[in-house]
Amino acid sequence: MSEPGSLLRSLAGRTTARNFHSYVINEIGAGVINGRFPVGSTLPNDAALMAEFDVSRTVLREALKTLEAKGLLEARPKVGTKVAKRTRWNLYDPQVLAWHFGQPLEREFLAGLREMRRVVEPAAAARAAQRRTADHLRLMQYWVRQMETSASEIQNFALADFELHRIIADASQNPFMRSFIGVIELSHAFAYRPLVEDAGPHDLEEIIAAHRTLVSAVERGEPEAAHSAMLATIAIDEEKAGV
Protein backbone atom coordinates (compact mmCIF):
# COMPACT_ATOMS: atom_id res chain seq x y z
CA MET A 1 0.00 0.00 0.00
CA SER A 2 1.28 3.48 -0.85
CA GLU A 3 2.01 5.64 2.18
CA PRO A 4 0.22 9.02 2.11
CA GLY A 5 2.71 11.69 1.12
CA SER A 6 5.14 9.28 -0.56
CA LEU A 7 4.44 10.71 -4.03
CA LEU A 8 5.21 14.24 -2.83
CA ARG A 9 8.38 13.05 -1.13
CA SER A 10 9.49 11.53 -4.42
CA LEU A 11 9.50 15.01 -5.98
CA ALA A 12 12.64 15.69 -3.96
CA GLY A 13 14.11 12.26 -4.50
CA ARG A 14 13.04 11.04 -1.08
CA THR A 15 11.62 7.57 -1.57
CA THR A 16 10.34 4.99 0.87
CA ALA A 17 12.44 1.85 1.23
CA ARG A 18 10.83 -1.15 -0.47
CA ASN A 19 10.90 -4.85 0.26
CA PHE A 20 10.88 -7.45 -2.52
CA HIS A 21 7.08 -7.70 -2.49
CA SER A 22 6.47 -3.96 -2.87
CA TYR A 23 9.31 -3.71 -5.41
CA VAL A 24 7.64 -6.24 -7.74
CA ILE A 25 4.25 -4.56 -7.28
CA ASN A 26 5.75 -1.20 -8.19
CA GLU A 27 7.68 -2.45 -11.21
CA ILE A 28 4.79 -4.34 -12.78
CA GLY A 29 2.18 -1.76 -11.81
CA ALA A 30 4.20 1.11 -13.27
CA GLY A 31 4.85 -1.07 -16.32
CA VAL A 32 1.13 -1.42 -16.90
CA ILE A 33 0.55 2.34 -16.61
CA ASN A 34 3.47 3.33 -18.85
CA GLY A 35 2.61 0.76 -21.51
CA ARG A 36 5.46 -1.65 -21.04
CA PHE A 37 2.72 -4.22 -20.44
CA PRO A 38 -0.03 -3.04 -22.83
CA VAL A 39 -3.73 -3.38 -22.11
CA GLY A 40 -4.93 -6.81 -23.23
CA SER A 41 -1.45 -8.34 -23.32
CA THR A 42 -0.43 -11.40 -21.32
CA LEU A 43 2.38 -11.00 -18.81
CA PRO A 44 5.51 -13.13 -19.22
CA ASN A 45 5.27 -16.48 -17.44
CA ASP A 46 6.20 -16.91 -13.80
CA ALA A 47 9.68 -18.21 -14.53
CA ALA A 48 10.54 -15.16 -16.65
CA LEU A 49 9.22 -12.69 -14.07
CA MET A 50 10.93 -14.52 -11.19
CA ALA A 51 14.21 -14.30 -13.07
CA GLU A 52 13.74 -10.63 -14.00
CA PHE A 53 12.96 -9.50 -10.47
CA ASP A 54 15.06 -12.15 -8.69
CA VAL A 55 12.22 -13.17 -6.38
CA SER A 56 10.55 -16.39 -5.31
CA ARG A 57 7.31 -17.70 -6.78
CA THR A 58 5.56 -16.87 -3.50
CA VAL A 59 6.62 -13.22 -3.64
CA LEU A 60 5.65 -12.96 -7.30
CA ARG A 61 2.24 -14.57 -6.77
CA GLU A 62 1.41 -12.27 -3.86
CA ALA A 63 2.42 -9.23 -5.91
CA LEU A 64 0.24 -10.32 -8.83
CA LYS A 65 -2.71 -10.85 -6.49
CA THR A 66 -2.26 -7.32 -5.15
CA LEU A 67 -2.22 -5.88 -8.66
CA GLU A 68 -5.28 -7.93 -9.56
CA ALA A 69 -7.09 -6.43 -6.55
CA LYS A 70 -6.20 -2.96 -7.86
CA GLY A 71 -7.92 -3.84 -11.14
CA LEU A 72 -4.77 -3.75 -13.27
CA LEU A 73 -4.47 -7.48 -13.93
CA GLU A 74 -6.79 -10.43 -14.36
CA ALA A 75 -5.80 -14.09 -14.09
CA ARG A 76 -7.37 -16.37 -16.69
CA PRO A 77 -7.23 -20.18 -16.49
CA LYS A 78 -5.03 -21.75 -19.19
CA VAL A 79 -4.27 -18.27 -20.55
CA GLY A 80 -2.16 -16.59 -17.90
CA THR A 81 -2.28 -13.17 -16.31
CA LYS A 82 -3.51 -10.44 -18.63
CA VAL A 83 -3.48 -6.66 -18.33
CA ALA A 84 -7.04 -5.54 -17.66
CA LYS A 85 -8.95 -2.88 -19.57
CA ARG A 86 -8.49 0.68 -18.33
CA THR A 87 -12.12 0.81 -17.24
CA ARG A 88 -11.30 -1.78 -14.57
CA TRP A 89 -8.36 0.11 -13.06
CA ASN A 90 -9.04 1.44 -9.57
CA LEU A 91 -8.31 5.14 -10.01
CA TYR A 92 -9.07 5.83 -6.36
CA ASP A 93 -6.15 3.66 -5.31
CA PRO A 94 -3.33 6.06 -4.29
CA GLN A 95 -0.66 3.76 -5.69
CA VAL A 96 -2.38 3.39 -9.06
CA LEU A 97 -2.68 7.17 -9.26
CA ALA A 98 0.97 7.63 -8.26
CA TRP A 99 2.05 5.40 -11.15
CA HIS A 100 0.41 7.87 -13.52
CA PHE A 101 2.71 10.64 -12.32
CA GLY A 102 5.57 11.27 -14.70
CA GLN A 103 3.85 9.45 -17.57
CA PRO A 104 2.38 11.11 -20.67
CA LEU A 105 -1.26 11.61 -19.76
CA GLU A 106 -4.34 11.95 -21.90
CA ARG A 107 -6.19 15.24 -21.74
CA GLU A 108 -9.30 13.32 -20.66
CA PHE A 109 -7.46 11.95 -17.60
CA LEU A 110 -6.27 15.39 -16.49
CA ALA A 111 -9.67 16.98 -17.08
CA GLY A 112 -11.32 14.23 -15.08
CA LEU A 113 -8.84 14.69 -12.23
CA ARG A 114 -9.60 18.41 -12.04
CA GLU A 115 -13.33 17.86 -12.31
CA MET A 116 -13.47 15.29 -9.53
CA ARG A 117 -11.37 17.41 -7.23
CA ARG A 118 -13.64 20.42 -7.78
CA VAL A 119 -16.69 18.28 -6.97
CA VAL A 120 -15.44 16.36 -3.93
CA GLU A 121 -13.02 18.60 -2.00
CA PRO A 122 -15.27 21.66 -1.66
CA ALA A 123 -18.07 19.36 -0.46
CA ALA A 124 -15.65 17.80 2.03
CA ALA A 125 -14.69 21.25 3.31
CA ALA A 126 -18.35 22.16 3.78
CA ARG A 127 -18.96 18.95 5.73
CA ALA A 128 -15.80 19.55 7.76
CA ALA A 129 -17.17 22.95 8.80
CA GLN A 130 -20.16 21.13 10.28
CA ARG A 131 -18.48 18.01 11.70
CA ARG A 132 -14.90 18.90 12.64
CA THR A 133 -13.64 18.15 16.12
CA ALA A 134 -11.24 20.09 18.32
CA ASP A 135 -8.47 17.68 17.30
CA HIS A 136 -9.17 18.32 13.64
CA LEU A 137 -8.94 22.08 14.18
CA ARG A 138 -5.71 21.69 16.13
CA LEU A 139 -4.16 19.70 13.28
CA MET A 140 -5.38 22.15 10.64
CA GLN A 141 -3.77 25.04 12.50
CA TYR A 142 -0.60 22.99 12.92
CA TRP A 143 -0.29 22.36 9.17
CA VAL A 144 -0.95 26.01 8.35
CA ARG A 145 1.93 26.92 10.70
CA GLN A 146 4.09 24.30 8.99
CA MET A 147 3.34 25.94 5.65
CA GLU A 148 4.33 29.32 7.09
CA THR A 149 7.63 28.05 8.48
CA SER A 150 8.48 25.93 5.41
CA ALA A 151 8.13 28.64 2.79
CA SER A 152 11.84 28.36 1.91
CA GLU A 153 11.70 24.54 1.64
CA ILE A 154 9.27 23.79 -1.16
CA GLN A 155 9.16 20.01 -0.58
CA ASN A 156 8.18 20.42 3.07
CA PHE A 157 5.75 23.16 2.11
CA ALA A 158 4.05 20.85 -0.40
CA LEU A 159 3.75 18.09 2.19
CA ALA A 160 2.24 20.48 4.73
CA ASP A 161 -0.27 21.70 2.13
CA PHE A 162 -1.24 18.11 1.31
CA GLU A 163 -1.56 17.12 4.99
CA LEU A 164 -3.89 20.04 5.60
CA HIS A 165 -6.16 18.88 2.79
CA ARG A 166 -5.98 15.33 4.14
CA ILE A 167 -7.12 16.48 7.58
CA ILE A 168 -10.04 18.38 6.05
CA ALA A 169 -11.11 15.24 4.17
CA ASP A 170 -10.90 13.32 7.45
CA ALA A 171 -12.87 16.02 9.28
CA SER A 172 -15.73 15.58 6.81
CA GLN A 173 -16.45 12.32 8.68
CA ASN A 174 -17.42 10.84 5.32
CA PRO A 175 -15.56 7.59 4.52
CA PHE A 176 -15.87 8.13 0.76
CA MET A 177 -14.38 11.61 0.99
CA ARG A 178 -11.59 10.21 3.16
CA SER A 179 -10.85 7.67 0.41
CA PHE A 180 -10.29 10.54 -2.05
CA ILE A 181 -6.79 11.12 -0.70
CA GLY A 182 -4.97 9.65 -3.71
CA VAL A 183 -6.60 12.16 -6.07
CA ILE A 184 -5.68 14.99 -3.70
CA GLU A 185 -2.05 13.91 -3.51
CA LEU A 186 -1.65 13.46 -7.26
CA SER A 187 -3.15 16.91 -7.83
CA HIS A 188 -0.67 18.41 -5.35
CA ALA A 189 2.20 16.58 -7.03
CA PHE A 190 1.24 18.11 -10.40
CA ALA A 191 0.91 21.55 -8.79
CA TYR A 192 4.25 21.53 -6.96
CA ARG A 193 6.42 19.77 -9.54
CA PRO A 194 7.16 23.01 -11.47
CA LEU A 195 8.16 24.75 -8.22
CA VAL A 196 10.41 21.88 -7.13
CA GLU A 197 12.11 21.81 -10.54
CA ASP A 198 12.67 25.58 -10.37
CA ALA A 199 15.33 26.03 -7.71
CA GLY A 200 14.73 29.78 -7.39
CA PRO A 201 12.85 31.46 -4.50
CA HIS A 202 9.06 31.36 -4.65
CA ASP A 203 6.43 33.74 -3.31
CA LEU A 204 4.03 31.39 -1.53
CA GLU A 205 2.07 33.97 0.44
CA GLU A 206 -1.01 33.68 -1.81
CA ILE A 207 -1.15 29.94 -1.13
CA ILE A 208 -0.72 30.41 2.61
CA ALA A 209 -3.37 33.14 2.74
CA ALA A 210 -5.86 30.96 0.84
CA HIS A 211 -5.35 28.13 3.30
CA ARG A 212 -5.68 30.44 6.29
CA THR A 213 -9.04 31.55 4.86
CA LEU A 214 -10.06 27.92 4.35
CA VAL A 215 -9.19 26.86 7.91
CA SER A 216 -10.86 29.96 9.35
CA ALA A 217 -14.12 29.12 7.55
CA VAL A 218 -14.01 25.54 8.83
CA GLU A 219 -13.23 26.76 12.34
CA ARG A 220 -16.16 29.20 12.29
CA GLY A 221 -18.48 26.42 11.16
CA GLU A 222 -19.50 28.12 7.90
CA PRO A 223 -20.09 25.47 5.20
CA GLU A 224 -20.64 27.85 2.28
CA ALA A 225 -17.54 29.87 3.08
CA ALA A 226 -15.50 26.68 3.47
CA HIS A 227 -16.80 25.42 0.12
CA SER A 228 -15.78 28.65 -1.63
CA ALA A 229 -12.41 28.78 0.12
CA MET A 230 -11.57 25.25 -0.97
CA LEU A 231 -12.43 26.10 -4.58
CA ALA A 232 -10.02 29.03 -4.31
CA THR A 233 -7.14 26.79 -3.16
CA ILE A 234 -7.86 24.35 -6.00
CA ALA A 235 -7.80 27.19 -8.53
CA ILE A 236 -4.35 28.22 -7.29
CA ASP A 237 -3.10 24.64 -7.63
CA GLU A 238 -4.42 24.42 -11.19
CA GLU A 239 -2.69 27.67 -12.09
CA LYS A 240 0.63 26.46 -10.63
CA ALA A 241 0.41 23.09 -12.36
CA GLY A 242 -0.45 24.43 -15.78
CA VAL A 243 -2.31 21.15 -16.57
SS3 at position 9: helix
- Segment 130-159 shows an average pLDDT of 95
Sorted by sequence, the CB contacts under 8 Å of residue 184 that are 6+ apart come out as 117, 121, 162, 165, 166, 169
Statement: residue 3 has pLDDT above 80: no
- Segment 134-160 shows an average pLDDT of 95
Statement: residue 2 has pLDDT above 70: no
Sorted by sequence, the CB contacts under 8 Å of residue 62 that are 6+ apart come out as 21
What distance in Å separates the CA atoms of residue 208 and residue 196, rounded to the nearest whole number?
17
pLDDT tens digits, 139-149 = 999 999 999 99
Residue 12 has what pLDDT? Answer: 62
Domain spans, the chain: 6-88, 105-241
- Percent of residues, the chain, with pLDDT higher than 90: 74
**Is pLDDT larger for residue 185 or for residue 240?**
185
115 within 8 A of 122, measured Cβ to Cβ = no
pLDDT tens digits, 38-95 = 999 999 999 999 999 999 999 999 999 999 999 999 998 888 999 999 999 999 999 9
Statement: residue 242 has pLDDT above 70: no
Statement: residue 15 has pLDDT above 60: no
Look at the domain 6-88 and name its fold.
Arc Repressor Mutant, subunit A (1.10.10)
Q: What is the CB-side half-sphere exposure of residue 61 using CA atoms within 13 A?
A: 3
- Segment 191-218 shows an average pLDDT of 90
Residue 177 has what pLDDT? Answer: 94
β-pair partners for 80:
76
What distance in Å separates the CA atoms of residue 183 and residue 177, rounded to the nearest whole number?
11
List strand residue ranges (DSSP E) for the chain, in order. 73-76, 80-83
β-pair partners for 74:
82
- Percent of residues, the chain, with pLDDT higher than 70: 95
Assign 1 a pLDDT band (cuts: 50, 70, 90): very low
Sorted by sequence, the CB contacts under 8 Å of residue 239 that are 6+ apart come out as none
What distance in Å separates the CA atoms of residue 34 and residue 65, rounded to the nearest whole number?
20
- Segment 181-189 shows an average pLDDT of 93
Q: What superfamily would CATH give domain 105-241?
A: GntR ligand-binding domain-like (1.20.120.530)
Count, residues in the chain = 243
- Segment 213-235 shows an average pLDDT of 98
- Segment 204-233 shows an average pLDDT of 97
Closest CA to 63 of 92, 107, 34, 95: 95
What distance in Å separates the CA atoms of residue 234 and residue 164, rounded to the nearest whole number?
13
